[in-house]
Amino acid sequence: MRALPDQKLNPKIKNVWRINDAIWIALVFVCLIVPFAIAVGLDAEWAGIVCIVLVIAFVVLLVIFLVILPPIRYARWRYQLSDEYLDIAKGIIWRKRYIIPFIRVQNTDTRQGPILRAFKLASVTVSTAAGSHEIPGLDAESAEALRDRAAELARLAREDV
């Protein structure tokens, strides 16, 4: 079996994942608890129990997604750029390994949302006819260099055919 790729993401990506997950968990929590909180105001005793269960679930999810998962997710995320292909390995429970030959690459992009921009990070997306693959959490300069190098290798691979 082929060795794992040797390039890791920027460690700041763990904080980006934490912020992103906290926002999504909070939004879902608010959407779920508001109807039951209104029912509590209408003297529905069962709704109070549901609210307590939702608060407990919210706290448990915050601990799992903000404390436990980010270091594991970071340790499992790796990538490597060679002259022939891009190798990506990721996943905690279901581990995935992508080998993307540059002959198949159609497009390379960088993306930087507000949270990534706050941490001076960017993501690189490599697109093929079968789909796209993203490498998140690279510092902005490395992301641009990776994008440019992947685009150049894809151009060279197409010229060789």
pLDDT score of 10 more than 90: yes
Predicted confidence at residue 3, as pLDDT, reads 84
Tokens 């440019």 locate to 148
Chain centroid, CA 122 distance in Å: 11
How do residues 72-115 score in pLDDT, each as one tens digit? Answer: 999 999 999 999 999 999 999 999 999 999 999 999 999 999 99
What is the per-residue pLDDT for 161?
A: 62
Residue spans of the domains in the chain: they are: 13-74, 79-160
Express as a percent the part of the chain with pLDDT over 90. 78
Token couple for 37: 């909180």
Query: Could you identify the residue written with the tokens 């436990």?
Result: 68
Residue 1 confidence (pLDDT) above 80: no
Whether 99 contacts 81, CB under 8 Å: no
Radius of gyration from C-alpha coordinates of the chain: 21
Residue 4 pLDDT greater than 80, yes or no: yes
Per-residue pLDDT tens over the stretch 31-43: 988 887 777 776 6
Which pLDDT score is estimated for 40? 73
Q: What is the pTM of this model?
A: 0.87
Spatial contact of 13 and 74, defined as CB atoms under 8 Å apart:
yes
Which parts of the chain fold into alpha helices (H)?
Answer: 13-41, 45-63, 69-76, 114-118, 140-160
DSSP state of 103: G
CATH code assigned to 79-160: 2.30.29
Long-range contacts (CB closer than 8 Å, 24 or more residues apart) made by 66-75: 66/18, 66/21, 66/22, 69/17, 69/21, 70/14, 70/15, 70/17, 70/18, 71/14, 73/14, 73/17, 74/8, 74/9, 74/11, 74/13, 74/14
Which pLDDT score, from 0 to 100, does residue 88 have? 95
Q: What's the pLDDT band for 133 if we cut at 50, 70, 90?
A: very high
Q: State yes or no: pLDDT of 71 exceeds 90.
A: yes
